[in-house]
Structure 1
Amino acid sequence: MVSKLGPVTDYPWDEGSATGVGSHPGEDGRPPLKTVFDELPVPYLPELPGRGVGADLIGRTASLLVELPVEVQPSGWRFSDRPGRDFKRARDHLLRDLDLLEEESQGYAGAFKIQICGPWTLAGAIELRYGDKTLADKGAVRDLVDSLADGLAAHVADVRKRVPGAELIVQIDEPGLPGVLAGMVPTASGFGRIAAVEAQVAAERLGRVLSVADFPIVHCCAPQVPFSVLGTAGARGISLDASLLRRADEDHIGEAIEAGTAFLLGVVPGVDSRLPAPNVAAKPAVELWRRLGFRPEDLARQVVLTPRCGLAGASPGYAKAALIRCREAARVLREDPEAE
């Protein structure tokens, strides 16, 4: 295949970089925060869902919503009339993590990543006051998107104040987006499915949230990543599990690379496993790049290596080792992109 030259694009990281997806095991935020700053070219704010209600992906992001308080019901998160105990717990978890971040990041300058749940995954998870899912009500979705964009803007400003040297990357987690587009999200009763959302509408709503960030990326660890929707929405990077990629995806990936989109490829298992050697972990990225015909010297700049998904289900020791292995594998991309 003829070598392709994509547009020159500035990325907030250096060549041969690695990072994590977001979640970590345990309940104490200080050890994982120390790990990501000590071991990774692109550190990030760890999430600890093991702490319980409010530390999960949905509750943590819902605590950012403006004038849309939430509470926990037996069926899960639901909008409420006023902020209560569950909302306060979620907010306290986040503020505690931000205080630790401010302490740990003293003097840091460089790429730094934060993560929130995306609007479509959030809309498929939070119920309205009368019990149906937000996704089933177009007006409620619009209100949720506006509230999330405003809340994210405030969150970004807070993080920049606490870490003034950061080149901020905002990761929007959308594991539920493929199901939203395919009409596979169950109704609150579980007996039906909510109608599929049109791709253009999905891109517009997601784009409203992405527009708040200088360098937004979208993480989708589900099969059948909707590359065209993410591109239309304005994602500067796409984070995914490399083991789930299909040959049918490669035309979309090639188009995205030519457009300057960065790829954060998950190449290391997210649960305790035997870790592959650095060159083996790097191989999916190297082979994908080679098949698509792009210049080897661009690989380490446009691709960042990560675990395949979050590390919440791993042991603390494995989580640290997995991140180190991603860093070592990313070095392979920089030093010898043609390595077998």
Structure 2
Amino acid sequence: MSVFATATGVGSWPGTSAREAAEVVVGELHRLPHLVELPARGVGADMIGRAGAILVDIALDTVPRGYRIATGRRSVTRRAASLLDEDIDALEEAWEKAGLRGTGSVVKVQAPGPVTLAAHLELPGGHRAITDAGAVRDLTTSLAEGVEAHRAQLARRLEAAVVVQFDEPSLPAALAGRLTGVTSLNPVHPVDEAMVIGLLDECTATVDAAVAVHICAAALPWKVLQSSTIEAVSVDQQQLGSADLDGIGEFVESGRTVLLGAVPGTTGAARTSVEQIAAAVAAVTDRLGFARTVLQDRIGVTPACGLAAATPEWARTAIELAQRTADALAEDPDAI
């Protein structure tokens, strides 16, 4: 069974308290807790900002549109590193309290994927880094090395296995040429599929652990994902169209895992039950003609994207529902 065939969180979390978040995540997710991101803390705490603490020999600074590649060690990079250290300290404390050190438990960490990182970072001249092939290569190498160092550090501190999730929300837009340039005179051309596969594979080869890619967008690039060496794909179930079912089927048939964001990310559906979520997850694999055992071995459950905008109460409920659903699927999938 894949390490990803269970319940976990996507990554982002509401609020600003790393300690409170870590206690909830470790307490509720008993097979694959994650190191959360708390974007409400501001610069350096969001998905792209955290990369400032991870990239090797590349610094970030802020600009009106977001982040820019900079020279020297800037205050933004120092802040990102400080916040990440705070998050790791909090997780280690919660891990110790729960008695999980040395038990063989697994933890997940997240980082922006190479395409999304290059799409969101500006070059010194103001253009997106993704418009410069050399910059993309340098960013990818720096990212892969930094994520592996981050993963290894956390594994040492927790005495646990650590797996990695690369977040690629901008990948579909980059492949389709939907990214905007600085002006209409500077279009961002579609990225090449073969190049994307190479970037993902470089990250996978550098990281000494199982790797998943998370995409919370429609029009999933299944050809690219299927051709890469990643072990798992994490998607929002509500974003899936009919074409995605074939992609899921082929991905699972190749012996890999799909995590479905089946738990609502907001309190608007607070009455959602484990039975309803499990039935919705099972409906996907049933439509594809898989035996119910695939729910135990190749399907994971997560909340949908957007949990950072939820209330802390719903965030706790969402991951609790995800875990209880995964437990129900593992215990008796035929009873769903």
What TM-score comes out, normalization by structure 1 length?
Answer: 0.92
Q: By how many angstroms is 1:69 displaced? A: 0.7
Alpha-carbon distance in structure 2 between the residues aligned to 1:151 and 1:331: 34
- Does 1:297 find its partner at 2:293? yes
Number of the residue aligned with 1:271 = 266
The answer to whether structure 1 residue 285 and structure 2 residue 274 are counterparts is no
- Partner SS, residue 234 of structure 1: coil
| Aligned equivalent of 2:2 | 11
Q: Which amino acid letter does the alignment assign opposite residue 22 of structure 1?
A: G
- Give 2:85's match in structure 1, choosing from 69, 72, 95: 95
Instruction: Check whether the contact 2:166–2:214 (CA below 8 A) recurs between aligned residues.
Output: yes
**Which whole-Å CA distance do the structure 2 matches of 1:182 and 1:267 have between them?**
26
Aligned partners of 1:21, 1:133: CA distance in 2, in Å? 26
Instruction: Name 1:5's counterpart in structure 2.
Output: none
Cα distance in 2, alignment partners of residues 318 and 157 from structure 1 = 32
Partner of residue 253 from structure 1, selected from 240, 248, 252: 248
Report the residue type matching 1:332 in the other structure. A
For the 8 Å contact 2:23–2:91, the answer to whether it is kept is no
Letter of the 1:33 counterpart:
A
> CA offset at residue 244 of structure 1?
1.2
Separation in 2, partners of 1:190, 1:265: 37
Q: Is 2:174 the partner of 1:168? A: no
Structure 1 position 75, deviation (Å): 2.2
TM-aligned CA distance change 1:232 to 1:62, over 3 Å = farther
**Cα distance in structure 2, aligned partners of 1:103 and 1:278:** 30
Tell me the amino acid that sits aligned with residue 119 of structure 1: P
- Classify the secondary structure of the residue corresponding to 1:338: helix
From 309, 313, 320, give the equivalent of 1:317: 313
Q: Which runs of 5+ in 2 are unaligned?
A: none
Instruction: Kindly indicate whether residue 69 of structure 2 is the aligned counterpart of residue 74 of structure 1.
Output: no
Shift of 1:309: 1.2
Tell me the CA shift for residue 246 of structure 1: 1.3
Aligned counterpart, 1:232:
227
Q: d(CA) in 1 for partners of 2:116 and 2:192? A: 15
Q: Which of residues 188, 197, 202 is equivalent to 2:196? A: 202
Distance in 1 (CA, whole Å) between partners of 2:57 and 2:87 is 22
Tell me if 1:29 matches 2:18: yes
Q: What amino acid is aligned across from residue 56 of structure 1 in structure 2?
A: D
Q: Could you list the runs of 5+ residues in structure 1 that have no partner in the other structure?
A: 1-9
Shift of 1:190: 5.9
Residue 149 of structure 1 is matched in structure 2 by 144
Out of 170-179 and 210-219, give the one that drifted further. Answer: 210-219
**Percent identical across equivalent pairs?**
38
TM-score relative to the length of structure 2: 0.94
Alignment RMSD (CA, Å): 1.5
Matching residue's letter, 1:127: E
Q: How does 1:100-139 map to 2 (within 5 A)?
A: 100-106=90-96, 107-108=99-100, 109-139=104-134
Amino acid at match of 2:16: E
Cα distance, 1:314 vs structure 2: 0.4
**Equivalent residue for 2:33?**
43
CA distance in 2, matches of 1:236, 1:30: 30
Give CA-to-partner distance per residue, 1:291-337, whole Å, 9 cap, x none: 11112123122111110114100010111011111112222312332
Amino acid at match of 1:291: R
Partner Cα separation in structure 1 for residue 14 and residue 262 of structure 2: 19
Paired residue type of 2:334: E
The number of residues matched between the two structures is: 328
Give the aligned residue type for 1:84.
R
How far does residue 189 in structure 1 lie from its aligned partner after superposition?
A: 3.2
Is residue 71–residue 83 contact of structure 1 (8 Å, CA) maintained in 2?
no
